[in-house]
Amino acid sequence: MRYALPRVSCGLLAAIFVVSTAIVVPAAQPAAVSRLGNLLQSELRRNFDRLAQEESPPYFISYTVYDTGGSRAQASFGALQRSDQGRTRFGTVEVRSGDYALDSTRPLRGNSASASLNSLLNTQTTRVPLPFSDSEAPIRTGFWRATDRAWKQSAEALTRVQANVAATVREESPAPDFSRETPQSASAEPLSAAWDRSTWEGRVRRISAQFALDPLVFRGDVTISMDSTTRYYVNSEGTNVTTSELVWRVGMQAATKADDGMELPLYATYFARTAAGLPSEAQLVREAREMVAQLARLRSAPLVDPATVPAILSGRAAGVFFHEIFGHRIEGHRQRNADDAQTFAKRLNESVLPPFLSVVFDPTREKLGDVALSGHYHFDDEGVRARPVTVVDKGVLKTFLLGRTPLAAFPQSNGHGRAQPGRRPVSRQSNLLVQSEQAVSSERLMEMLREEIRRQGKPFGLYFENIEGGFTQTGRTAPNAFNVLPNLVYRVYADGRPRELVRGVDLIGTPLAAFSKIIATDDRMEIFNGMCGAESGSVPVAAASPALLVSEVEVQKKQQSQETLPILPAPPSRRGS
């Protein structure tokens, strides 16, 4: 079963997750876990206490250490392209001056050089390069220096904030700048696993070799990777939390072009927490062959003209759809931002989805069925304990996703302050679960689609099997619309003709209208695991949903590349195949 979907390139700020190439050194010994946490706590305390005597003292300091290891093998058409192993360890420092109600991080209102200066400070963190050992001298020195600089910057920022607050109109919803949370403590063993380089290199070669079987496939890559992240977080409130995570991923991509130059890509990704959790080589080889066959069918598939018709979104497609169209709009910090359209800010306790749908974000959930969920964690990047959050209950909006930047109605974090290592956390999604009380079998749902086509008198409906990603605008200045990019779409006919693969379809619309048109769902949850990029970088997320029947979707023609297929045929193979 293929669950995963490739990147969800959330259309905010795209961020690239880079794992540096460095040698893998065995992860720190268990005893060292608390040792590093305690060393950080001790240096933090030393700085905090001394700075408390200064004129503009910090009221909050946090230190985070990220110890990340990455191993990957990538091959293209049967030949190795990259094979790296790396490890890096660095820290970040956050210093806040002022107090919980009004502090140095408050965005400045109006457009000025100070505003862009402060907003830059709010997205950057001070990075501390660190040794792999838990040696005191370089670790303390690095954090000491960074704390001094971060404190000076926060004191300056606070002065600008205070002047700005005094000079501008009162805000609509004066919520505090930082929530108060219960200190947490937790430790974890650093996770690691052996990386058998030649095994994985051989595997990516053999799987990607399948793409060379079709000379019209002009891109055919396979990557297998193992990434570990051990995070040490301490703050001046007393939190001291160590967490560790190990993830394995397989990514496959292949692409061809239609005769008219339209590029046709297909992706498949898999996610697991152990090597054994990944599909077998035989399965992946079959998958690659299926992708080649699918590309051949896509190449000769007809184009679809712009149309408004009823449709089914498969569970995977619906998961991406909800992540893009809904999930990004209920991230708490957007409700505070004056530049955001705030689609849902004033809709609390109102109906935003059909009454048979609920949406839960549950980072505590490790698996759904047998499938690992990549948005799982125990503590978020602000040291707050993860918990399930029911955002929509039977169609009614109940809350938002919150980090430690509160809203007037919600003074606490609900454990969704997340960031890519090295970035400043903001509220982000975790495991999105769409729950339906109006579920029918998949066969019945398809039957309902045919009925809907007949009822509306449309020539056909659409079945979206897969969506490669999408982007969405949540700002006030641009149209508040979405555009998702399906790569496997079928035309469905009411009269019993078999479904027909089509190409060149983009799904467009506006969020609230789209949700009001969901009629029913099926009873099978499908899952996509992917990376989501936004202000605080790239974070792992999951979305799970049953298939959705929608009374009306609007599709437009995909943008298309002007370049044609290669002029010369593929060169003759020496190997033969």
By CB under 8 A, name the binding residues for other proteins. 20-23, 25, 43, 46-47, 50-51, 54, 75-89, 113, 116-117, 120-121, 124, 126-133, 135-138, 140-142, 144-153, 205, 212, 218, 563, 566-568, 570-571, 573-575
The Cα-based distances of 398 to 318, 388, 434 in angstroms read 21, 13, 15
Residue 275: CB minimum distance to other proteins, A: 22
Residue 247: CB minimum distance to other proteins, A: 21
Contact 211, 288 (CB under 8 A): yes
Q: Which is nearer to other proteins, 146 or 386 (CB)?
A: 146
Q: Which is nearer to other proteins, 21 or 364 (CB)?
A: 21
Nearest Cα residue to 422 out of 16, 9, 10: 16
Residue 57: CB minimum distance to other proteins, A: 10
Task: Count CB atoms within 10 A of the CB of residue 537.
Answer: 24
Q: Are strands 439-440 and 263-272 parallel, antiparallel or unpaired?
A: unpaired
Residue 248: CB minimum distance to other proteins, A: 21
Q: Which is nearer to other proteins, 155 or 246 (CB)?
A: 155
Q: Which is nearer to other proteins, 84 or 552 (CB)?
A: 84
Q: Which is nearer to other proteins, 115 or 519 (CB)?
A: 115
CA atoms within a 13 Å half-sphere pointing along the CA-CB vector of 468: 19
Number of H-type helices and E-type strands within the chain:
9, 25
Contact 378, 243 (CB under 8 A): yes
Q: Which is nearer to other proteins, 202 or 279 (CB)?
A: 202
Contacts of 512 (CB under 8 A, 6+ apart): 343, 352
Contacts of 151 (CB under 8 A, 6+ apart): 47, 51, 58, 61, 95, 97
Q: Which amino acid is at 242?
A: T
Q: Which is nearer to other proteins, 91 or 315 (CB)?
A: 91
Residue 535: CB minimum distance to other proteins, A: 16
The Cα-based distances of 371 to 60, 109, 485, 542 in angstroms read 39, 45, 25, 11
Task: Count CB atoms within 10 A of the CB of residue 209.
Answer: 20
Residue 218: CB minimum distance to other proteins, A: 6
Residue 98: CB minimum distance to other proteins, A: 18
Burial label, 576 (beta-carbon count in 10 A; 0-12, 13-18, 19+): exposed
Residue 485: CB minimum distance to other proteins, A: 23
Grouping H, G, I as helix, E, B as strand and the rest as coil, residue 347 is coil
Residue 574: CB minimum distance to other proteins, A: 5
Contact 543, 327 (CB under 8 A): yes
Q: Which is nearer to other proteins, 369 or 572 (CB)?
A: 572
Q: What is the DSSP string of 514-562?
A: HHHTEEEEES--EEEEEEEEETTEEEEEEEEE--EEEEEEEEEEPP---
First to last CA, the chain: 28
Residue 270: CB minimum distance to other proteins, A: 23
Beta strands in 150-207 (DSSP E): 185-186
Q: Which is nearer to other proteins, 100 or 144 (CB)?
A: 144
Residue 144: CB minimum distance to other proteins, A: 5
Q: Which is nearer to other proteins, 13 or 23 (CB)?
A: 23
Q: Whole-angstrom Cα distance, residue 95 to residue 99?
A: 11
Q: Which is nearer to other proteins, 157 or 449 (CB)?
A: 157
Q: Which is nearer to other proteins, 126 or 179 (CB)?
A: 126
Residue 136: CB minimum distance to other proteins, A: 7
Q: Whole-angstrom Cα distance, residue 423 to residue 66?
A: 11
Beta strands in 429-535 (DSSP E): 431-436, 439-440, 461-472, 482-492, 500-502, 505-509, 518-522, 526-534
Contact 235, 62 (CB under 8 A): yes
Q: Which amino acid is at 137?
A: A
Residue 88: CB minimum distance to other proteins, A: 6
Q: Which is nearer to other proteins, 205 or 558 (CB)?
A: 205
Q: Whole-angstrom Cα distance, residue 79 to residue 202?
A: 9
